Amino acid sequence: MDWVFPLLLLLGGLIFFMALAAPVAIALYMINLIGAYLFLGGGSGVIQLAHNLVSGVGSFALIPIPLFVLMGEVLFHTGLAKQVVEVIERLIHRVPGRLNIVAIIGGSMFATLSGSTVANTAMLGSTLLPEMRNRGYRVSFALGPIIGVGGIAMLIPPSTLAVVLGSLGGISIGALLVGGVIPGLLLAFAYLAYVILRGVLDPSIAPRDDVVVSEESLLSRLGDLMIKVLPLFGIFFCVVGGILFGWATPTESAALGAMASLVAAVCYRRLTLAVFKKCLLETAKLTAMIMFIVSASMTFSQILSISGAGDGLLQYVVSLELSRIEMMFLFAIILLFLGCFMEQISMMLLTVPFFVPLALGVGQDPIALGIMMLVAIEVGLMSPPFGLLVYVMKGVAPDIPLTTIFKSVVPYLAMSMGLIVLIIFVPEVATWLPSLSAN
């Protein structure tokens, strides 16, 4: 059991620094310094740590991260995302919970264009929530789909977190990006079915508002759909189509997507110099944060391996002789628990070094594992007490109590957990589409 001490030291130290409210990157660097000194040979190990950090950031596989971030920032700050939601709102009417449906469809479309969970929730919350409240929607019913659909951006490409997960776990990034499409759409359809059913069973929670629907002709509204929305899906096609049909690598597809978003902003006359500067600045800030964490987490995984902690824990869990399904349920429970207290990248760096080799040992497809992990992490974004998207919504609507916001997401948490169970028993939900690109 020589592996127990280094495991407790490294994981316990990391949790200790996080408990002191240290940023994730700083906590990682601190425990990496301690681990490098103890397990990599003292001072020479610390020097090797610096080399590992540089090589980690320089990985070609991480290039899609700033490109995907740039796509989301361009679409958010130019208002093209809001344009999509406005067009969808004018198309949908004569259904219960119309604005909830607009939030789900519009948010899913924005997810296919940006991959930003926070931007998705912030944009929909600031755009739709005031109108929902003005029209008499019950607050808890209005909040749920806005927060729930924000998490779909983690699944439907472009997804920055899918790139991070693939890089940390040695999983095909292209397959992860493509594999999230079907689960993301299934989740969106489940949300739609729930909203419509609730609206039919209890009309008081979402009063019909057909009278406020634009009196424009259907032809005019369809024309706006063709002009203002459908061309933007060229961005999605650049990312997913390039990977699926084998025309481009994930990095090349990300570059094409970023270029397509800039071209779209120019064509719609939304890209000013001031907006472009803001997009670049926000991209640089977010990318720097992600790269710091990713490089440090890669080194953390190396120290775990060299210290013997990773192999020791792996052998211990293998000795339990769990089946594939039992192992996947164990992983899901751990992720759902961690999601109550940690943000998504921290969850990845703590679990990926252990989960991937254990899953491969029981014959689990790594793509299905990665997608299941992304769904579980998406649940964490909505879970009390520290769900990030809940606090984003609190920032958009500061007068609404946190208890009300958390209550609103319970049905969406349940549907997301149902998707986790589906992927565990039917991994083809996540692996079928990537398998097409390999043929």
- Cα angle: 195, vertex 199, 204; to 5 degrees: 135
The pLDDT tens digits of the residues spanning 311-333 come to 777 677 777 788 899 999 999 98
Do 261 and 380 have their domain in common? yes
89 in Cβ contact with 130 (< 8 Å): no
131 and 51 share one domain: no
On the question of pLDDT at 421 being above 50, the answer is: yes
pLDDT value at residue 188? 92
Q: Say yes or no: 337 and 399 in one domain.
A: yes
Average pLDDT over residues 408-424: 93
Which of the two residues, 194 and 8, has the higher pLDDT score? Answer: 194
Residue 103 domain flag: yes
Q: Given a cut of 70, is residue 416 above it in pLDDT?
A: yes
What is the rounded distance in angstroms from the CA atom of residue 410 to the CA atom of residue 148?
Answer: 10
Question: Does a structural domain hold residue 221?
Answer: yes
Full-model pTM: 0.78
Q: What is the pLDDT of residue 211?
A: 47
In a domain, 90, yes or no: yes
Q: Average pLDDT, stretch 111-122?
A: 73
Whether residue 226 is contained in a domain is answered as: yes
Q: Are residues 195 and 70 in the same domain?
A: yes
Length of the chain: 439
Lookup result for tokens 């549907």: 415
Is residue 426 domain-shared with residue 413, that is, in the same domain?
yes
User: Do 115 and 229 belong together in one domain?
Assistant: yes
Q: What is the pLDDT of residue 422?
A: 96
Question: Quick check: is 288 in a domain?
Answer: no
| pLDDT single digits (tens) 45-91 | 677 777 766 766 666 767 888 888 888 788 878 888 778 777 877 77
Give yes or no for a contact between 404 and 143, defined as CB atoms under 8 angstroms apart.
yes
Residue 6, C-beta contacts closer than 8 angstroms, at least 6 positions apart: 35, 38, 39, 304, 307, 308, 309
Q: Is residue 280 part of a domain?
A: no
pLDDT of residue 9: 83
What pLDDT shows up at residue 42?
Answer: 74
The answer on pLDDT for 377 being more than 50 is yes
- How many other C-beta atoms are found inside a 10 Å radius of the C-beta of residue 354? 20
Q: What is the pLDDT of residues 119-147, one digit of tens each?
A: 778 777 877 788 788 878 888 888 889 88
Q: Assess if residue 323 is contained within a domain.
A: yes
Distance (Å, rounded) from C-alpha 234 to C-alpha 436?
21
Do 229 and 209 share a structural domain? yes
- CA-angle at 123, arms to 117 and 126, nearest 5°: 135
Of 307, 333, 360, the residue that ends a domain is 307
Question: Per residue in 192-231, pLDDT tens?
Answer: 999 989 888 888 887 766 544 555 666 777 787 788 888 8
pLDDT value of position 98 = 81
Number of domains present in the structure of the chain: 2
Mean pLDDT of all residues in 410-427: 94
Same domain? 427 vs 319: yes
Together in a domain, 119 and 231: yes
Which tokens belong to 137? Answer: 């929607």
| Same domain (yes/no): 26, 156 | no
Q: 42 and 142, same structural domain?
A: no
Report the alpha-carbon distance of residue 265 to residue 277 in Å, rounded: 14
Which domain, by its residues, includes 28? 1-57+294-307
User: Looking at the domain assignment, is residue 170 inside a domain?
Assistant: yes
Rounded to the nearest integer, the mean pLDDT of the chain is 81
Q: Which of 92-101, 143-152, 420-429 has the lowest mean pLDDT?
A: 92-101
- 9 and 65 in a common domain: no
Of 307, 332, 361, the one marking the end of a domain is 307
